[in-house]
Structure 1
Amino acid sequence: MFRPSSNPGVAAMATCGPDQPNVLPAVCKTLVEVRGGINGAPGSDYVAEEVPVAMVYNGVSHAVMMASPCALEDFGLGFSLTEGILDHPEQLFQWDVVAGEQGISLEMHIAGECFARLKKQRRNMAGRTGCGLCGTESLAHAIRATPRVPTRPAPADEAVQRALRNLSDHQPLQEQTGATHGAAWCDNQGRIQQAREDVGRHNALDKLIGARIRDHGARAFDDGFVLISSRASYEMVQKSAIVGVSSLIAVSAATALAIREARKAGMTLIGFARPGRHVIYARGDDQPSEEM
Structure 2
Amino acid sequence: MPTDDALTAADLPPPLLTLPLPGGAAEECVAVELPVALTVNGISQAVMLATPADLEDFALGFALNEGWISTRQDLLDVEVLTQLDGIELALQVTAAREQQLKARRRMLAGRTGCGLCGLESLSQVSAVSPHPVQAPSLAPGALDRAVAALAPAQVLNARCGGLHAAAWCDRTGALQLAREDVGRHNALDKLCGALARRSEPAGDGFILMSSRASFELVHKTAMAGVGLLACMSAPSSLAIETAQKLGLQLWAFVREGRATRYA
Both proteins in one fold, TM over 0.5: yes
Pairing 1:149–2:163 present: no
**Contact between 2:136 and 2:171, CA under 8 Å: does it hold in 1?**
no
Q: CA deviation at 1:44?
A: 1.2
Q: Which residue of 18, 26, 44 corresponds with 1:29?
A: 18
The aligned residue for residue 260 of structure 1 is 241
The aligned residue for residue 89 of structure 1 is 72
The aligned residue for residue 56 of structure 1 is 39
Alignment of 1:158-197 (within 5 A): 158-197=141-180
CA distance in 1, matches of 2:227, 2:214: 16
Q: Which residue of 65, 85, 88 corresponds with 1:105?
A: 88
Q: CA deviation at 1:220?
A: 3.4
- State the SS of the aligned residue for 1:147: coil
**Contact between 1:66 and 1:200, CA under 8 Å: does it hold in 2?**
yes
Q: CA deviation at 1:257?
A: 1.3
Residue type at the aligned position of 2:236: T
CA distance in 1, matches of 2:209, 2:178: 10
**Contact between 2:6 and 2:81, CA under 8 Å: does it hold in 1?**
no
Q: Which residue of 117, 127, 135 corresponds with 2:110?
A: 127
Residue type at the aligned position of 2:211: S
Question: What is the percentage of aligned positions where both structures have the same residue?
Answer: 43
C-alpha RMSD of matched pairs (Å): 2.3
CA distance in 1, matches of 2:168, 2:42: 33
Aligned length: 251
**Contact between 2:135 and 2:228, CA under 8 Å: does it hold in 1?**
no
**Contact between 2:243 and 2:249, CA under 8 Å: does it hold in 1?**
yes
Structure 1 unaligned regions, length at least 5: 4-20, 35-41, 283-292
CA distance in 2, matches of 1:220, 1:50: 31
The aligned residue for residue 18 of structure 1 is none
Q: CA deviation at 1:103?
A: 1.2
**Contact between 1:2 and 1:102, CA under 8 Å: does it hold in 2?**
no
Q: CA deviation at 1:23?
A: 3.4
CA distance in 1, matches of 2:65, 2:150: 23
Between structure 1 and structure 2, the one with the greater Rg is 1
The aligned residue for residue 191 of structure 2 is 208
Q: CA deviation at 1:138?
A: 4.2
Q: Deviations over 1:9-38 (max 9, x none)?
A: xxxxxxxxxxxx99321101111149xxxx
Pairing 1:274–2:255 present: yes
Q: Name the stretch that deviates more: 191-200 or 140-149.
A: 140-149
Residue type at the aligned position of 1:236: L
CA distance in 1, matches of 2:68, 2:262: 30
Structure 2 unaligned regions, length at least 5: 115-119
**Contact between 1:22 and 1:71, CA under 8 Å: does it hold in 2?**
no
Structure 1 138/64 Cα, relative in aligned 2: closer, same or farther at 3 Å? Answer: closer
Q: TM-score scaled by structure 1?
A: 0.80
Q: Which residue of 209, 215, 218 corresponds with 1:228?
A: 209
- State the SS of the aligned residue for 2:202: coil
Structure 1 140/87 Cα, relative in aligned 2: closer, same or farther at 3 Å? Answer: same
**Contact between 1:22 and 1:70, CA under 8 Å: does it hold in 2?**
no
CA distance in 1, matches of 2:182, 2:135: 32
Q: CA deviation at 1:2?
A: 7.7
CA distance in 2, matches of 1:277, 1:182: 19
CA distance in 2, matches of 1:158, 1:111: 43
